[in-house]
């Protein structure tokens, strides 16, 4: 980590006159987020068989903060200053976004909670030792928003760049009435062996998700949160097939069978498997 400032829950450390530091001369690297592979050696053979992989741990950082010495003030904290830092970093209402202000990584966010201990020197608080624990094994970009008008002859094409082979669960707002579906398909290239006589490189479409609505009322915005499997704007839950929209790495084609225009807004974050 080369950052000296970070952004958490709407405020920067520098807003409090603070900076990232180390009291022992070295800042630890982030830990956790490893991929665990499930492999087994077949009896009588030398090769191992791959059965799958999982991300079973989250990312954790250990670093310290102190007052920025460039401010030429008292390097120790008063009890009122300590109270303000505790109120900012210690949360009881869940994970909050953390962003390190490091060149080249400004667009990477993590959802974390903090544990902190006052770092005292000679009985006075000179800073705080922090442990930030994320809710995931990787980070995310800032929110990406795509707005479009689609119909049966006008799809929406999304280019998704994800570092993880997993589905992205977006937040979707659309405005339409009647009976229609919203389908996402991804371009897939056929897996052709290198020396195969087959030279067909035609791409094909693979269904990723299909959301079906029946009998939607006029002028009723429908809001779907695929991450939490919640939907708003329906007067009858039977008008929805309860299949939420999903996005995948690569080219996603959002289509519909509606002859009328559908205004759609898709908000999502792309996974980033990086360590700061």
CA distance 214 to 85: 51
pLDDT, tens digit, 9 for 90 and up, residues 8-18? 999 999 999 99
Mean pLDDT score, 261-267: 96
**pLDDT confidence bin for 227, thresholds 50/70/90:** very high
> What phi and psi values does residue 46 have, to the nearest 5 degrees?
-90, -15
Neighbours of 132 (CB within 10 A): 21
Distance (Å, whole) CA 258 – CA 178: 9
Of 76-85, 87-96, 189-198, which gets the smallest average pLDDT?
A: 189-198
In the predicted model, is pLDDT for residue 190 greater than 70? Answer: no
Q: What is the pTM of this model?
A: 0.84
Q: How many residues does the chain have?
A: 276
Report which listed range, 22-31, 134-143, 231-240, is most confident.
Answer: 134-143
Q: Cβ contacts of residue 235 below 8 Å, gap of 6+?
A: 217, 220
Distance CA 178, CA 216 (A): 5
- Quote the mean pLDDT of the chain: 90
Instruction: Read off the pLDDT of residues 148-187 as tens digits, 9 standing for 90 and up.
Output: 999 999 999 999 999 998 999 999 999 888 899 999 999 8
Q: Say whether pLDDT at 251 is over 90.
A: yes
- Residues 222/213, Cβ–Cβ less than 8 Å: yes
The CA distance from 50 to 48, in Å, is 7
Rounded distance, CA 243 to CA 234, Å?
Answer: 14
Characterise 144 by phi-psi region: left (phi > 0), alpha (psi -120 to 50), beta (else).
beta
Averaged pLDDT, 185-198:
67
**Per-residue model confidence (pLDDT) at position 276:** 77
């Amino acid at each position: 980590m080369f950052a000296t400032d970070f952004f958490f829950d709407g405020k920067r450390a520098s807003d409090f006159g603070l900076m990232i530091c180390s009291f022992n001369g070295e800042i630890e690297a982030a830990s956790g987020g490893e991929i665990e592979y499930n492999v087994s050696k077949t009896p009588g053979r030398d090769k191992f068989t791959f059965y799958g992989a999982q991300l079973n741990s989250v990312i954790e950082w250990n670093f310290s903060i102190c007052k920025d010495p460039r401010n030429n003030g008292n390097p120790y904290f008063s009890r009122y200053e300590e109270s303000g830092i505790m109120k900012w970093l210690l949360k009881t209402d869940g994970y909050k976004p953390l962003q390190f202000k490091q060149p080249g990584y400004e667009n990477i966010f993590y959802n974390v909670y903090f544990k902190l201990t006052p770092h005292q020197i000679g009985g006075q608080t000179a800073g705080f030792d922090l442990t930030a624990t994320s809710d995931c094994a990787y980070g995310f970009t800032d929110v990406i928003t795509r707005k479009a008008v689609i119909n049966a002859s006008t799809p929406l094409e999304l280019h998704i760049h994800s570092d993880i082979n997993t589905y992205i669960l977006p937040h979707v707002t659309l405005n339409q009435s009647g009976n229609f579906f919203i389908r996402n398909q991804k371009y897939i290239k056929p897996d052709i062996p290198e020396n195969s006589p087959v030279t067909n490189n035609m791409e094909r479409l693979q269904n990723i998700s299909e959301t079906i609505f029946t009998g939607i009322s006029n002028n009723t915005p429908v809001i779907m949160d695929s991450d939490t499997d919640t939907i708003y704007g329906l007067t009858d839950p039977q008008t929805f097939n309860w299949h939420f929209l999903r996005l995948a790495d690569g080219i996603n084609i959002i289509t519909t069978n509606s002859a009328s225009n559908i205004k759609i807004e898709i908000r999502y974050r792309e996974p980033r498997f990086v360590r700061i």
